[in-house]
Structure 1
Amino acid sequence: MPRNLSRFFPWAALVASVGLWGVSFIFTKLLLAELPAVTIAWFRLGPALLVLGALMWRRKEKLSLSRGDFVKLVLASGFGIVLYMVLENNGLRFTSASTASLLVASIPLFVLIVEAIVRRQRLPAVQLLAIAVSLVGVWLVLFNGLIPRGQAGMLGNVLILGAMGSWIVYTFVARDLGQRYSGLKQTTLQSLFALVLYLPFLFGDFPKWRPVPLNSVLELLFLGIFCSGLAYVGYLYAINRLGTVIPSAFLNLIPVVTVFSAWLILKETPGLGQFVGAILVITSLLGLTRLTRPRAGP
């Protein structure tokens, strides 16, 4: 492969992954007009598992797991996939895709806060400043959201905050699993467990099932194959070629993609308050990424 192409592909994979994750909020919002929230999350897993399973087969990785990790993987699946997606998808029923994306993007900031409290760590002044700026941005996003306004919009925001809390719990539950399992294997196992763990939530959706148009089926396949499957594969490829720092920084661009896509497709127009809040959140995230990134050498 020509050297220029070998340099191009990791960047292309990274940009594509970030773009796909950004527009996933848009396609979920569109699907919610035709399908219940949990149904979308559950059916999205099938195509994603086909992609993940194919990559597992290609890498000759087995789905074996240590007996002592079974409960931890179930909890990781419950908090990191099932509860997170149930809350996020239901939140998207009431709030805008842009607001949801911006709130979810701030999860690393809250993980840092919780970790500092749990470990009783004193954070440097610069990090505290970045966190304070981000909290102001989150407040502006919450209370100056675009559409819809009022109690319904706030209910959606509360559900998104619940999803964020679920992901924070997941980061602590699953922390040491990465030492024994590859990211691909861990994600595949968690997704398999999620197929079963979704069932109690899915029963309430059964009465709402009805025939859906072809475009909704295609949107669901797009979410599963591209946003959940190929985007993850592309991101792993970018990490393997570029290291962890640059791909981690690129994740901060996901809400930018969502806001632009929501304006283009859903006709969501950002208000001034949310626009300022978005800038504060993204700026503080970029700052913290730079402050906390690993050093390149001794």
Structure 2
Amino acid sequence: MTPSQARMLPVLALLVTMLLWSSSFIAMKVAVMELDPMLVMFGRMTAASLCFACCWRSLRRVTYRKGDWKPLLFMSLCEPCAYFVFEAYALRYTSASQAGMVVSTMPLFVAMAAFIFLRERLSRQVWAGFAVALCGVVWLTLAGEATEHASNPLLGNILECLAMASATGYVVTAKRLSSHYPPLFITAVQAFTGMVFFMPLAFRPGTALPETIPLLPALAVVYLGVAISLVAYGFYNYGVSKMPAGQASAFINLIPVLTLLMGQVFLDEVFTPQQYVAAALVLAGVVLSQTGSAADSGQQDTGRQNTV
């Protein structure tokens, strides 16, 4: 394999990840429309854990460092635990297309975390981009109309923003852990922790468990567990282990576009004219923040590989 081909592997891994993650909003929407969100998440994490159980021999060869249970637990509590609690309920109240648009702000959340916890300086252009994107998300939410796909866009989009804050903790912590642990191990820890976390929530008192599970939601849960929780996170953890966290998070800009297209094709979701303008404002803010940090990130990314 040539050096150029080796450099392309993380890029291809992240592109596949974005395609799969975009489809996850569609699959999750299909599942939570029929099933309790916590039951969906327990089924998703269980499916992923069963897949990782088949890789037990490979996982046993990982050398554990004393004290790393704390960042591993924090990473898993951020995502999948807190992240999917927020997102599962978000998709009950907002459309998959709107949720995907909110996800585009993820690089800004990562930049804010680096500013607060890593003391990284942010340019005025990054702050401007953050403000523009935030205005776009607010406009997108307020311009939303209650439909069968989005019964309460305001609540749903707020929950999705909280999911992004949780995902930020995962990205930053996973980057630090990836210097010692392979992507397969990190993803397996997330799956097993998520299964344990969501089990009592799925079978909590008062939960109406279905006597029979419709085929399409059942297939959506399996797809989420295998293709998303296993394959997508494995690819993402590989990609983020080979490039700076800030650069890797920029690929998330593809999610809103792909999710919008999939939402229209598979769920017949539509935006109002105002929402299309607001969505463009969100993407413009993200692009502005990324180009504004390009000069600085070139100097900071090398160090970030070891400090994030």
TM norm structure 1 = 0.82
Worse overlay, 249-258 or 43-52:
43-52
Q: 1:114 to 1:273 in 2, by over 3 A?
A: farther
Q: Which residue identity lines up with residue 272 of structure 2 in the other structure?
A: G
Q: Secondary structure at the match of 1:198?
A: helix
State whether structure 2 residue 80 is matched by structure 1 residue 81. Answer: yes
Q: Secondary structure at the match of 2:269?
A: coil
Paired with 2:171 and 2:135, the residues of 1 have a C-alpha distance of 24
Q: Is the 8 A contact 2:127 2:289 kept in 1?
A: no
Match of 1:226 in 2: 227
Match of 2:103 in 1: 104
What is the CA deviation profile of residues 216-258 of structure 1, one whole-angstrom value per residue up to 9, with x for unaligned ones? 2222111111122222344456668899787544321111111
State the identity %.
30
Q: 1:215 to 1:111 in 2, by over 3 A?
A: same
Match of 1:124 in 2: 123
Match of 1:152 in 2: 152
Q: Is the 8 A contact 2:128 2:289 kept in 1?
A: no
Q: 1:212 to 1:245 in 2, by over 3 A?
A: same
Q: Which residue identity lines up with residue 230 of structure 2 in the other structure?
A: G
Q: Is the 8 A contact 1:94 1:148 kept in 2?
A: no
State whether structure 2 residue 272 is matched by structure 1 residue 271. Answer: yes
Match of 1:255 in 2: 256
TM norm structure 2 = 0.79
Structure 2 unaligned spans of 5+: 303-308
Number of residue pairs aligned between Structure 1 and Structure 2: 297
Match of 2:38 in 1: 38
Q: 1:177 to 1:214 in 2, by over 3 A?
A: same
Paired with 1:182 and 1:237, the residues of 2 have a C-alpha distance of 8
- Tell me the CA shift for residue 76 of structure 1: 2.1
Paired with 1:39 and 1:49, the residues of 2 have a C-alpha distance of 15
What is the CA deviation profile of residues 117-174 of structure 1, one whole-angstrom value per residue up to 9, with x for unaligned ones? 4556552122122222212212222212354499833222222222223233445565
Match of 1:141 in 2: 140
Paired with 1:246 and 1:55, the residues of 2 have a C-alpha distance of 30
What is the CA deviation profile of residues 86-120 of structure 1, one whole-angstrom value per residue up to 9, with x for unaligned ones? 11101111111111111122122123234424556
Structure 1 unaligned spans of 5+: none
